[in-house]
Amino acid sequence: MRLVVDLNKCQGYAQCAFLAPDVFAMHGEESLLYDPRPEDEQRERVARAVAACPVQAITADGLDRAGASQEASDVR
Amino acid sequence: MSADHLERLRREGRIVIVGASLAGLRAAETLRAEGFAGDLTLIGDEPHEPYDRPPLSKSALLGMASPLRTQLPRRREIDAKWRLGVAATGLDLAAKRVRLADGDEVEYDRLLIATGVRARPWFKEEEARLDGVCVLRTREDAADLVRRLRAGPRRVFVIGAGFAGSEVASACRELGLPVSMAERAGAPLVGALGGVIGSVAADLATEHGVDLRTHVTVTALEGDTVGRVRAVHLSDESVVEADVVVVSLGSLRNTEWLTGSGLGAGPRGVACDAGCRAFDFRGIVTDDVFVAGDVARSPHALFGYQFLSLEHWGNAVAQAETAAHNMICDGADRRPHLWMPAFWSSMFGVNIKSVGVPPMGEHLMITQGSLAERRFTGVYGHQGRVVAAVTFDNARWLEFYQRQIERGAPFPVEFPTLDRRPEGRQPVPAGFPDPSLPTHGPMVTLSGYSPADQQLVFHPSRH
Amino acid sequence: MPHASLARQITDFGNRANPYPLYAELRRTPVLHEEEDGPYLISSYYDIEALLHDPRISSDATNLAAAGADGAGEPEETGGLPPSFLRLDPPEHDRLRRIANTGFGPPHRPRRIEGMRGAMREIVTELIDGFGDARQVDLVDQFAYPFPVTVICRLLGVPREDEPTFRTWVDPLVASLDPEKRPGGAQEAEYRQSAQEARMRLGMYLSGLVEERAREPRDDLLSDLVNSRGPDGSMTMMEVLSTSVLLLIAGHETTVNLITNGMLTLLRHPEVLGRLREDPGLSVSIVEELLRYEPPVQLVPQRTCITDIEVRGVTIPKGSRIWLMLAAGNRDPERFEDPDRFDPDRGDIQHLGFGSGIHSCFGAPLARLETQIALSELARRLENPRLVEDPPPYRENAVLRGPRHLDVAFDGVR
């Protein structure tokens, strides 16, 4: 699984850090750090994070279900 | 071009993308997404599939990501021929051929140049070869630096307090390592954000224990008897002992391979029109060669049609998409690249974001929050218009200011805003250095109105 | 023929079951100002989104009081407590929200909510087990209300058995959120007073718990609120109380509607319900689509502008009240394809259900998790569930919109 966060879009809502804390972490109030190549066991959590991102900033591949969300991540 | 010709190109044409990083990959994906069914070749000098660079100076240094595992996710299958680990060395415009380092030649019907930039090395070659002297651009650079930082150096010395240098210094402090940082200007980030914001960055660095030295340059790197760096000599005649030196003096555009090709390519990049079509050295636009990403310099309507060179992640993506679209479209179907410059950085626990072109601004107003609290929004003005904004931990307001820039809203900002402090009532000089003087790696470079750039000697990042 | 203004029709209880045609009408005039001194209704997605990030728009209660002739949409009578961060602007809003966050989420407590997943599942299991041999339940009273109440009580550290007590104070406070419920005129003072008294009593009740936690901290949010000593300093006792009141109320009054609207929507779309039964993971996108399609907070009625602003060529004068019609924006065809279709598979669900900007829903991660678990468990365990009454009876509230009862019949519990 590979992922990237468009940090121009990211506004630090931290939803991903709630949902997949081993992949996404807030660094201070607003900065996001993440692991671009998380372990496969994180797949479901990453899929949840992709879906929950209020600004649809997370693009990931190799998610079973997240095809839809993946497409969405580049709209607008 | 006739409709037939275009249809043939889309069906069975040959598209070559030189540069297999963010812009190259996104362009390839866009080509396929928009129906290009012909041969697609990606050429990259690094032997790796496309990977993301921003994590290299953040997550990777902090141990949250492996520097060797930042490969970019794929939006779709691209069914391309990959020529990785082999650099392009020349371009024959007339024959429509790219020459490769291994002697091969690849023919194209349309070419996209996305060769990006590389780290500017330390200018004294012998000193640059000392063990412990690093740059940070590629994944190998990052892996090397991570290894050195983990080994617990006595002191890290960062040359150049731009974004990359400051991020490295921040990571070092977080890892508990002593770090010094030298900057020729009066503060970090001055080239990108000006002196007012720079002084906030200086305070942040100092408070977090960075030994910040401004108004100095590094004159020499000193090695020990076995070729390891041991000390840094500064223009104020001080000497700082350090066993890791990170050279963070901005970047060089990878255009050397185009020398003699006839394209308008030079040290500041490859000039192109708003549709991403490259100019030749005469200033005449080509029709089969396109440019995208860090290596491109293109005119922007919002900023007086000056050529902008943007080393921005988002620009690479957006310009790649536009270039790819235009490569397989004609006339009225083509789109201009009108991306709003935007970037982010993160250091000392503070999130820094910006839109527009701050170095264009003569004046700055803190419209929300306070510099002293390190939580604020600053707005840059140029000739009575809002041209840029920056936030420190205030990102959720930024899109409002982006719309102000898009509308050419008046500056100073006369209307009231939430959390306006007394300090934000009047504009102040933004404190950009004289643009003719070099600073460290501004991420936006305004480079005038000439598409031909070969004679220029302006080196914004030279130390 | 005189007809009621759109704003009044939207708040009119008679239109509660399906306000969406009214929202569609509203969007034809994306900036609508119907009555002098009345609010400006903003109903297009992009305008709402922009205003949620506009630093000329205030959430401050005192600005609203100055603007609001009838006080409509004022959700927080003071009751002697300072306003919560919901009703404050930066920098105070930011400071209080940051302190509240230290016990709630990243970076300080990234795993607290995710760590409640197991407990949430247990509560849901118990509630469904509690249906016993019944073949029909009121899903609101027997499930969608008790579940989030139990969760927020546990998170805050409020004894669950006190719920009947605090509910008598929560109800008038929540009712005061509803613009329609404001009587106006002579009764207004009385109405305000009862809401104020309710807030005060709720505050007093919580102050007992908070004082206990100050002496003897436990692993709960009240303890973190009262004992937080970060770079932002600590909250005053009064700030702790108004924050606790906010979290207790917002922590369940919205989720009950999200869950109930969710089950109602699924029962109206049995094919999606069937898929969810087979694949609990689908609950993730179902909840996002619900937040678009049937958002539990329909509008944000407590904003004012601190200067003249222009939206779509209309000048909204300084001091005007602005209603951001989230539920209308969520179905804006300018933003979403086929917006009136419930479709969890639409890739693009960038909804306004949790708001956006600095006031975006504090409890969003909690609400998401609760609703995902609730809906997937209901789908898995109820055999052949069906609606008894469609539409169901609604709560009066136009802002926090949802069914008051949702009678669901089924053939058994798995």
- So where are chain C's domains? 6-413
User: Sorting pLDDT into bands at 50, 70 and 90, what band is C72?
Assistant: very low
Q: Into which CATH architecture does domain B125-250 fall?
A: 3-Layer(bba) Sandwich (3.50)
The pLDDT mean for chain C works out to 93
Q: What percent of chain B has pLDDT over 90?
A: 89
Nearest CA in chain B to C88: B418
Q: Which CATH architecture has domain B342-435?
A: 2-Layer Sandwich (3.30)
- Could you tell me if B380 and B386 are in contact, meaning their C-beta atoms sit under 8 angstroms apart? yes
pLDDT digits (tens, 9 = 90+) for B32-66: 999 999 999 999 999 999 999 999 999 999 999 99
Size (chain C), residues: 414
Q: Kindly report, residue by residue over C228-253, the tens digit of the pLDDT.
A: 988 899 999 999 999 999 999 999 89
Fold category of C6-413 in CATH: Cytochrome p450 (1.10.630)
Write out residues 31-70 of A within 8 Å (CB-CB) of B: 31, 33-37, 59-62, 70
Put simply, the answer to whether B52 touches A36 (Cβ < 8 Å) is yes
The shortest CB-CB distance from B66 to any of A8, A25, A37 is to A37
Tell me the residue type at C299: L
**For residue C46, with 0-12 CB atoms within 10 Å meaning exposed, 13-18 middle and 19 or more buried, which class applies?**
middle
> Chain C interface, mutation test: which of A18, A31, A58, A73, most C Cβ atoms within 10 Å?
A18
Q: Which of A2, A12, A31 lies at the smallest CB-CB distance from B73? A: A2
Which pLDDT belongs to residue A7? 97
Q: What is the pLDDT of chain B when averaged over all its residues?
A: 93
- Domain residue extents for chain B: 3-56+72-118+252-333, 125-250, 342-435
Q: Tally Cβ neighbours within 10 Å of residue C312.
A: 11
The span from the CA of B174 to the CA of B168, in Å, is 10
pTM (two decimals) = 0.94
3-state secondary structure of B337: coil
Does the fold of domain B125-250 match that of domain B3-56+72-118+252-333? Answer: yes
Average pLDDT on C116-140 reads 97
CB contact under 8 A, C50 and B367: no
CB distance C10 to C39 below 8 Å: no
Model pLDDT, residue B448: 73
Residues on C contacting B at a C-beta cutoff of 8 Å: 50, 53-58, 89-91, 94, 306-308, 356-358
Q: How far apart are CA B445 and CA B309, in angstroms?
A: 5
Question: By the 8 A CB rule, do B158 and B181 touch?
Answer: yes
- Here the contacts of C62-67 (C-beta below 8 Å, separation 24 or greater) are C63/C304, C63/C306, C63/C319, C64/C302, C64/C303, C64/C304, C64/C321, C66/C304, C66/C319, C67/C304, C67/C319, C67/C320, C67/C321
What value of ipTM does the predicted structure carry?
A: 0.94
Residue recorded with tokens 């140049």: B113
| Yes or no, beta carbons of A8 and B75 under 8 Å apart | no
Residue with more model confidence, B218 or C197: B218
Q: What dotted CATH number matches A2-72?
A: 3.30.70.20
pLDDT in tens, A60-70: 998 864 444 33
Lowest model confidence (mean pLDDT) among B25-34, B286-295, C162-171, C358-367 = C162-171
State the pLDDT at residue C192. 78
Chain A residues whose CB is inside 8 A of the B343 CB are: 8
Across the A:B interface, residue pairs with CB atoms under 8 Å apart total 85
Least-confidence region, from A43-57, B45-59, C79-93: C79-93
Neighbours of chain B (3+ CB pairs under 8 A): A, C
pLDDT for C71 beyond 50: no
Chain C CB contacts of A69 below 8 Å: 285, 347
pLDDT, average across residues B141-147: 98
Query: In Å, how far is A70's CA from the nearest CA of chain B?
Result: 8
pLDDT tens digits, residue range B390-437? 999 999 999 999 999 999 999 999 999 999 999 999 999 999 987 655
In this structure, the number of other CB atoms found within 10 A of the CB of residue C191 comes to 19
Q: B3-56+72-118+252-333: what CATH class?
A: alpha beta
